[in-house]
Chain A
Amino acid sequence: MTADTAVRSQPSMATFSTPPVIASCSSSSSVPPTIEIQGIVRRHGAVTAVDRVSFEVRRGEFFSILGPSGAGKTSVLRMLAGFEDPDDGDVRIDGRSMLGVPPNRRPVNLVFQSYALFPHLTVKDNVAFGLKMRRVPAGQIDEEVRHALAMVKLVGKESRKPGQLSGGEQQRVALARALVNKPAVVLLDEPLAALDQQLRQAMQVELKSIQEQAGLTCVCVTHHQEEAMMMSDRIAVMHQGRMWQVGTPREVYARPCNLFVSRFLGVSNELPGRLGDRVGEDRLFHPTDSDLPPLLLRTEPTEPPGRLATLSLRPEQLRISRDRPADACPLLSGRIDKTLFAGSETKYLIRIGRESLWEARTSGSETPALTPGEHIFLHWASSDGRLFFE
Chain B
Amino acid sequence: MQTRTTGSGTVSPRESCRSSWLAVPALVWMALFFLVPLGLVFAISFASRGTYGGIVWEFTTANYLDLLHPLYGKILGHSLWYATLTTACCFVLGFPLAYVIARSPARWQPALLLLVMLPFWTNFLVRTYAWMILLRHDGLINNALVSLGLVTDRLELLYTPTAVVIGLVYGYLPFMVLPLYVAVERLDPALVEAAWDLYASRWAVFSRVVVPLTMPGIVGGCVLVFIPSIGSFITPDLLGGARSMMIGNLIQHEYLVARDWPLGSAVSFVLMAVVMAAVALHYRQADRSAGPVDER
A interface residue numbers (CB < 8 A to B): 81-83, 102-105, 108-110, 112, 114-120, 129-130, 133-134, 161-164, 170, 177, 181
- B198 contact set on A, CB distance < 8 A: 104, 109, 129-130, 133, 177, 181
Which residues does B use to contact A, with CB under 8 Å?
A: 1-2, 188, 190-191, 193-201, 204, 208-209, 212-213, 290-296
User: Residue B196 contacts which of A102, A161, A164 (CB distance < 8 angstroms)?
Assistant: A102
Complex CA distance for A102 and B212, rounded to whole angstroms = 23
- Contact flag A114-B190 (CB < 8 Å), given A104-B196, A164-B295: yes
Q: Closest residue to B196 on the A side, CB-wise?
A: A103
* Option from B190, B195, B200, B294 in Cβ contact (under 8 Å) with A163: B294
- 24 CB-based A-B contacts, threshold 8 Å: A82-B197, A102-B196, A103-B197, A104-B197, A104-B200, A109-B198, A112-B193, A116-B193, A117-B194, A118-B191, A119-B1, A119-B2, A119-B191, A119-B213, A119-B294, A120-B213, A129-B208, A133-B200, A133-B204, A134-B199, A161-B295, A163-B294, A164-B296, A177-B198
Whether the Cβ atoms of B199 and A104 lie closer than 8 Å is yes
Nearest B residue to A122, CB-CB: B291
Q: Which of B1, B290, B292 contacts A117 (CB 8 A)?
A: B1
Among A115, A116, A181, the most chain B Cβ lie within 10 Å of the Cβ of A116
The smallest beta-carbon distance between B206 and chain A, in angstroms, is 13
Question: In the complex, A122 Cα to B254 Cα: how many Å?
Answer: 53
The answer to whether B295 and A83 touch across the interface, beta carbons within 8 angstroms, is no
Residue of B nearest to A189 (CB): B190
CB-contact partner of B290 in A102, A120, A130, A134, under 8 A: A120
Could you tell me the distance in whole angstroms from the C-beta of B96 to the nearest C-beta in chain A? 19
Among A104, A114, A130: residue with most chain B CB under 10 A: A104
* CB proximity of A54 to chain B, nearest CB, Å: 24
Question: Which one of B194, B199, B201, B209 lies within 8 Å of A110 (CB-CB)?
Answer: B194
Asked whether, in the complex, the Cβ of A119 is within 8 Å of the Cβ of B193, the reply is no
B196: chain A residues at CB < 8 Å are 83, 102-104
Chain B proximity of A141: nearest CB distance (Å): 13
In the complex, chain B residues whose CB is within 8 Å of the CB of A105: 199
Measured in the bound complex, the distance between the Cα atoms of B55 and A308 in whole Å is: 106
Partner of B191, one of A83, A110, A116, A177: A116
* List of A residues within 8 angstroms of B292 by Cβ: 161
A108-B197, A109-B198, A129-B200 are known contacts; what are 16 more A-B pairs with Cβ within 8 Å?
A81-B197, A83-B193, A83-B196, A105-B199, A109-B197, A112-B190, A114-B190, A116-B193, A119-B1, A119-B2, A119-B294, A120-B213, A129-B195, A130-B199, A161-B295, A163-B1
Cα distance, A164 to B292, chains bound together (Å) = 12
Docked pose: A130 CA to B204 CA in angstroms: 11
A112 to B212, CA, bound (A): 21
Q: Are B188 and A116 in contact (CB under 8 A)?
A: yes
Contacts of B195 on A, CB cut-off 8 Å?
118, 129
Q: Are B209 and A118 within 8 A (Cβ)?
A: yes
Cα-based distance from A82 to B198 in the complex (angstroms): 12
In the complex, how many angstroms separate the beta carbon of B176 from the nearest chain A beta carbon?
22
How many angstroms between the C-alpha atoms of A105 and B2 in the bound complex? Answer: 26
When the two chains form the complex, which single residue of A102, A114, A130 contacts B1, counting CB atoms closer than 8 Å?
A114
Using A109-B198, A130-B199, A133-B204 as known contacts, say yes or no to A120 and B291 having CB atoms under 8 A apart.
yes
A130 CA to B193 CA, complexed, in Å: 13
Residues of B within 8 A of A163 (CB): 1, 293-296
| CA A114 to CA B189, docked complex, whole Å | 11
Interface centre among B1, B2, B188, B198 (most CB of A within 10 A): B198
* Closest 8 pairs (CB-CB, A-B): A130-B198, A116-B194, A116-B190, A133-B199, A163-B296, A120-B212, A103-B196, A103-B197
Q: Closest approach, in angstroms, between the C-beta of B168 and any C-beta of chain A?
A: 32
